[in-house]
Amino acid sequence: MLKFILRRIMMMIPQLFILSVLVFLLAKAMPGDALTGQLASNPKIDAQTLEEMKEKLGLNDPVHVQYARWMKNLLQGDLGISYIHKQPVNDLLAGRMWNTILLSAAILILTYMIAIPLGIVSGRWTDSWADKLIVGYSYVSFATPLFIFALIMLFIFGFKLGWFPTGGSVDIQVEKGTFAYYLSKLNHLLLPALSGALINTVGTIQYLRSEIIDTKVKDFVKTARAKGVPESSIYWRHILRNSFLPIAAFLGYEITGLIGGSIFLESIFSYPGIGQLFLQSILQRDYSVVTALVMISGLATLIGTLLSDIILSAVDPRIRIE
């Protein structure tokens, strides 16, 4: 097992290397640089000063030198300096990263809390009215774009009804570390998480439903019935356990998807996470932040798939990792 994880991590190195080269080149290929937006338009700064600053920042070095420098810093855990925010990217990310992880975890938990019961009901009592209702809901949520749904949620529950705050991740007044602080955090989290979860459930519901329908007619379920096992135990012990396998296997990929979804959610709910930062940084050409975020989400994706494999091997005895 440990060997397997080690090997997978070793395999990540070339993958991350290729990603880093691509990201770096793309960032370089984009028109303009960090100085363009901020300084070049400033009439007080002349061309010579601009050139000096470029020289100072190393922007005039050959590409491979710039890449090597960037890579060296990256390996030391230094993600560079944001030209816009004028502070190290590390500091910039620290707080936001936690917010995004918190939001993603909340979405994931809510998704499973909604999707698993619905999927079970839908799969067990196929073609009942409850099943039709659930399938209808999942079609609607499949067809609704996340950003539109999130805007509607924000409008109704945030502005019209005023039940939830409409921005930020915590009230500024509350003191850090107190009970009220955590409560406020949760309060800020709930609406974006719920919006994300309600749209996110469709995959899990459909997967679980069709998986249960498939498993229901499997031979081993017949074997269990022929043993005289009561219907409720048939479901819990034989059908559901087997139906959860693909859901468990998908957990890792689910995490990857959440990173993409966070861009919309955090922007709409003005929630200070890395998704929101990512969008801002692209618009402001803050490339050191963009490249750092792409690298992080690339790493998260790889870890997510690794996690999927590990989970699957833990729940399915047929998949054993030496």
Partner 1 sequence: MAFLKVNHLKVYYPVRGGFFRRIVDYVKAVDDISFELRQGETYGLVGESGCGKTTTGRTIIGLIKATAGEIVLEGTDLTKLSRRQFYPYRKDIQMIFQDPYSSLNPRKRVLDIVAEPIRNFEKLSPQEEKRKVQYFIERVGLNPESIYKYPHEFSGGQRQRIGIARALTLNPKLIIADEPVSALDVSVQAQVLNFMKEIQEEFQLTYLFISHDLGIIRHMCDRIGIMYRGRFVEEGTCEEIFRNPQHIYTKRLLSAIPNADPRQRRQQFHLREEVEREYKQSYHRYFDDDGRVYPLKKISETHSVAIP
Partner 2 sequence: MTGKPILEIDHLRVSFRIQDQYYAAVDDVSLTVNEDEVVAIVGESGCGKSALALAVMGLHPPQKTKLEGSIIFKGTNLLSLSTSQLNKIRGKDIGMIFQDPLTALNPLMTIGRQIEESMDYHMKLSSMEKRQRTLELLKRVGIPNPEKTYHRYPHELSGGMRQRVVIAIAIACEPSLIIADEPTTALDVTIQAQIMGLLKELQQQMKTGIILITHDLGVVAEMADRVAVMYAGEIVELADVETLFHHPLHPYTRSLLHSIPSAQTRKEKLHVIQGIVPSLQKMPRTGCRFQSRISWIDESKHEPNPILREVEPGHWVRCTCYQHFYFPHDHIGDVGYGIS
CA pseudo-torsion sign 229, 232, 235, 237 = negative
- Out of partner 1, partner 2, none, what residue 6 binds, judged by CB under 5 to 8 A for its kind, is partner 1
Residue 289 corresponds to which tokens in the numbers above?
A: 């932040």
Nearer to partner 2, 66 or 126 (CB): 126
Nearer to partner 2, 240 or 258 (CB): 240
Site string for partner 1, 6-45 (x = CB under 8 A): xx--------------------------------------
Instruction: Name 87's bridge partners.
Output: 82
Cα dist from 116 to 61, 87, 247, whole Å:
55, 44, 10
Nearer to partner 2, 36 or 233 (CB): 233
Cα dist from 267 to 16, 156, 169, whole Å:
27, 17, 12
Nearer to partner 2, 279 or 315 (CB): 315
- Out of partner 2, partner 1, none, what residue 317 binds, judged by CB under 5 to 8 A for its kind, is partner 2
**What is the residue whose two structure tokens read 């990256």?**
74
Nearer to partner 1, 7 or 218 (CB): 7
Task: Show contacts with partner 1 in window 263-322 (CB under 8 A).
Answer: 322
The full 3-state SS of 75-130, as one line of letters, equals HCCCCCEECCCCEEHHHHHHHHHHHHHHHHHHHHHHHHHHHHHHHHHHHHCCCCHH
- Out of partner 2, partner 1, none, what residue 230 binds, judged by CB under 5 to 8 A for its kind, is partner 2
Closest distance to partner 2 from the beta carbon of 247 (Å)? 14
**Under 8 Å CB-to-CB from 234, ≥6 apart: which residues?**
221, 224, 225
Site string for partner 2, 211-250 (x = CB under 8 A): -------xxx-xxxxxxxxxx-----xx--xx--------
Nearer to partner 2, 161 or 217 (CB): 217
Closest distance to partner 1 from the beta carbon of 18 (Å)? 20
Interface with partner 1 (CB under 8 A): 3, 6-7, 322
Interface with partner 2 (CB under 8 A): 218-220, 222-231, 237-238, 241-242, 315-318
